[in-house]
Amino acid sequence: MNPHQDWTSAGFSLPPVAPVIGPFGLPGFLSTLWENLASEEAELCIFESDDALAALTLGQGRLEFVGHRDLVDYRSPLGHGAADLFREVADSVPPGTNILFDSLPAEAVEPIGSGLEELGLDHVATVHTTAAVLSLPDSFDDYLTSIGKKERHELRRKRRRFEASGGSLDLHRAVTDGDAFRQFVDLHRRSEGEKGSFMTDGMERFFGALYALPGWEIDSLVTEAGEVTAAAFGYVDESGYYLYNSAFSPDLRHLSPGQVMLGALIERAIGEGRRIFDFLKGDEPYKYRLGATERPLYEILAVT
């Protein structure tokens, strides 16, 4: 099997083996990630057959999916021929290559594992992290009922406190808006701890390139005076809203702008008929207080 490096391949139109993975199997996201943050030690290898495709990297004796696991929330091969594809992939790389496939929803584990088994390779599949996914009801009132009295009270209390200080809530949606992007970056760099050092120049270029792609948006929580108190960087498709990143003003922590923004985003997603609100990777308690459930993500390890 001879891999290629053509991000415009028609094979990217095949459906992902694992459903509901947002932008993470799309060539736009993957090529942007590769072009902005690729490791110099890795070679891009897009393996493709008539009915399957997988964008992988090979370098330093490792075969992996494209991109660092902290930046790609879901991995999945495309197409119903994934098992045969991965048998051929594993057979085509040098003996002794370490296979490290992370962030796989359960639906993607079986065909990859089957392909490795057909080649006679032992592999181990274990849960290494989770995503947090909120299934959305038909109305925001139904949602508030579902999260219970205590969390419902907290969500309403924080919104009232925010509006008492900042005026009526304004969740401003921006697509390819340079000012909104600069404000998002500024909030990130003003954050405390590790978050404040995350938005390097290289990361800013990556997020800026993502923001130029279809489906990506920045939603800002703005006061009546025009101050941006929090911003979310997310992706929207027919299945739902995917919260990729967010930041809030540390000076306004006492007003809980991040939590207020999340409530407003969930309310809007329900109003637009979305079926899921995906908080993506991470087991932060606030996600589950807001009604999310775990989606286990697996890691497959093997050696050719």
230 and 255, same domain (yes or no): yes
CA torsion, points 35, 36, 39, 42, in degrees to nearest 10? -10
The confidence score (pLDDT) of residue 195 equals: 85
Residue 74 forms part of a structural domain: yes
The confidence score (pLDDT) of residue 285 equals: 95
DSSP secondary structure letter of residue 250: G
Residue 288 forms part of a structural domain: no
pLDDT digits (tens, 9 = 90+) for 218-245: 999 999 888 999 999 999 999 999 999 9
The confidence score (pLDDT) of residue 75 equals: 98
Domains: count for the chain: 2
164 and 237, same domain (yes or no): yes
How far is the C-alpha of 65 from the C-alpha of 49, rounded, in Å? 17
Residue 157 forms part of a structural domain: yes
Cα Rg, the chain, nearest whole Å: 21
How far is the C-alpha of 102 from the C-alpha of 296, rounded, in Å? 11
256 and 166, same domain (yes or no): yes
The confidence score (pLDDT) of residue 192 equals: 86
219 and 238, same domain (yes or no): yes
Residue 291 forms part of a structural domain: no
103 and 164, same domain (yes or no): no
Query: pTM (2 decimals)?
Result: 0.96
- Residues of the chain whose pLDDT is less than 70? none
- Domain with residue 101: its CATH number is 3.40.630
- Domain with residue 179: its CATH number is 3.40.630.30
148 and 60, same domain (yes or no): no
The confidence score (pLDDT) of residue 143 equals: 98
Residue 147 forms part of a structural domain: yes
Q: Among residues 123, 128, 126, 44, which one has the least CA distance to residue 303?
A: 123
115 and 169, same domain (yes or no): no
Residue 281 forms part of a structural domain: no
- Residue 265 to residues 42, 131, 141: CA-CA distances in angstroms? 38, 18, 14
pLDDT digits (tens, 9 = 90+) for 238-256: 999 999 999 999 999 899 9
160 and 262, same domain (yes or no): yes
Q: 235: domain range?
A: 137-274
199 and 125, same domain (yes or no): no
164 and 79, same domain (yes or no): no
Residue 260, burial from CB neighbour count under 10 angstroms (0-12, 13-18, 19+)? buried
69 and 142, same domain (yes or no): no
Residue 180 forms part of a structural domain: yes
Residue 3 forms part of a structural domain: no
45 and 122, same domain (yes or no): yes
